[in-house]
């Protein structure tokens, strides 16, 4: 079996790396958090001394990091992956970052014969633990074919969407839709309740029609309980929307509604709700309208 390097052992990276160990792959890990490294070593992983060290000893290097700057630093920076990688090494960046950054990093790596896939995930910590993430991949078909089985130890699906960057473009499209569908539910339901109707009855009346969505079915029951435990944190959705707008500005697309929902999330962050579930966006409207959408 190929030796896999895994850099970034956070909330998502740790269970993903553990699933590769369970599948029997020799694993070399690195993180600036020494505790997380020790936890993986206890599970059977080897500890790398640096990102460069991990890359030197691996055929495939997976990164799972917070955002574009961290991926650039870990891959292209001092003692980074690029310094240790050999021609033929495959880098799979599974972080959710700007697709423009993915393309820039891949271009640098290509100069030394190192090939990269961007492969962001959706599903959150529970699906990372279960190995049932949805993985959206950008990069060359033949490289994807080589690593598809590895990805499927971390996800229940791995779909090649297009060229490098396409995985993150798809993720951003997903996050735009989720954010705006949550805002749609929020404006509709706060209006309905302030106008005197029962939110449960309105929910049941409309969910089977054209207004139906996975967001509505997943989030409305939690809203009606006042349950805004994450789930997916508002601060992470802010990061994704900032990357969406950055990409949109680069390629030339106006996103007036996405930029407005971003500002609403920023307002919630100022209000101390950054670590609540993105379904908690409805509280922006509840506060302004002085009403609560509860059972």
Catalytic positions, written as ranges: 171
Bridge partners of 4, per DSSP, are 27, 60
Answer yes or no: are the C-beta atoms of 13 and 60 closer than 8 Å: no
Of 20, 21, 119, 261, the one binding a copy of itself by CB under 8 A = 261
Answer yes or no: are the C-beta atoms of 250 and 100 closer than 8 Å: yes
- Output 92 or 161, the one with its CB closest to a copy of itself: 161
Of 162, 221, 226, 230, the one binding a copy of itself by CB under 8 A = 162
Q: What is the DSSP-derived secondary structure letter of residue 77?
A: S
- As a whole number of angstroms, the distance between CA 159 and CA 179 comes to 22
Site for a copy of itself, residues 23 to 82, rule: CB under 8 A: none
Asked if 291 is part of the footprint of a copy of itself (rule: CB under 8 A), the reply reads yes
Instruction: Give me the 210-229 binding string for a copy of itself, x by CB under 8 A, dash otherwise.
Output: xxxxxxx-x-----------
Asked if 141 is part of the footprint of a copy of itself (rule: CB under 8 A), the reply reads no
Q: What is the DSSP-derived secondary structure letter of residue 210?
A: T
Candidates 34-42, 57-65, 70-78, 185-193: pick the segment binding a copy of itself (CB under 8 A).
185-193
Asked if 280 is part of the footprint of a copy of itself (rule: CB under 8 A), the reply reads no
Of 59, 83, 130, 163, the one binding a copy of itself by CB under 8 A = 163
Of 71, 161, 238, 268, the one binding a copy of itself by CB under 8 A = 161
- Output 50 or 103, the one with its CB closest to a copy of itself: 103
Give one DSSP letter per residue of 9-46, joined into a string.
Answer: -STTHHHHHHHHHHTT--EEEE-S-HHHHHHHHHTTPE
Largest CA distance in the chain: 66
Asked if 198 is part of the footprint of a copy of itself (rule: CB under 8 A), the reply reads yes
Q: What is the DSSP-derived secondary structure letter of residue 126?
A: H
């Amino acid at each position: 079996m190929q030796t896999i390097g895994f850099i970034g052992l956070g909330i998502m990276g740790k269970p993903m790396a553990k699933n590769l160990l369970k599948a029997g792959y020799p694993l070399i890990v690195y993180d600036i958090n020494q505790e997380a490294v020790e936890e993986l070593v206890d599970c059977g992983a080897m500890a790398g001394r640096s990102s460069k060290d991990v890359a030197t000893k691996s055929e495939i290097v997976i990164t799972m990091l917070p955002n574009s700057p961290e991926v650039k630093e870990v891959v292209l920076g001092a003692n980074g992956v690029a310094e240790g990688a050999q021609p033929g090494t495959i880098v799979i960046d599974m972080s959710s970052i700007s697709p423009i950054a993915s393309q820039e990093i891949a271009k640098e790596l290509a100069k030394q014969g190192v090939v990269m896939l961007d492969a962001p995930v959706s599903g959150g910590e529970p699906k990372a633990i279960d190995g049932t993430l949805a993985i959206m991949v950008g990069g060359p078909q033949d490289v994807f074919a080589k690593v598809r089985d590895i990805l499927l130890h971390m996800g229940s699906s791995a779909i090649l969407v297009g060229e490098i960057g396409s995985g993150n473009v798809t993720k951003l499209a997903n996050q735009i839709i989720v954010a705006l569908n949550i805002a749609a539910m929020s404006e509709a339901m706060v209006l309905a309740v302030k106008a005197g109707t029962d939110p449960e009855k309105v929910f049941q009346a409309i969910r089977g029609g054209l207004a139906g969505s996975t967001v509505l079915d997943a989030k409305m029951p939690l809203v009606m309980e006042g349950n805004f435990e994450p789930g997916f944190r508002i601060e992470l959705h802010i990061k994704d929307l900032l990357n969406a707008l950055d990409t949109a500005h680069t390629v030339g697309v106006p996103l007036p509604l996405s930029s407005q929902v971003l500002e609403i999330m920023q307002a919630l962050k100022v209000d101390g709700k950054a670590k609540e579930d993105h379904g908690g966006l409805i509280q922006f409207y509840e506060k302004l309208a002085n009403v609560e959408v509860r059972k």
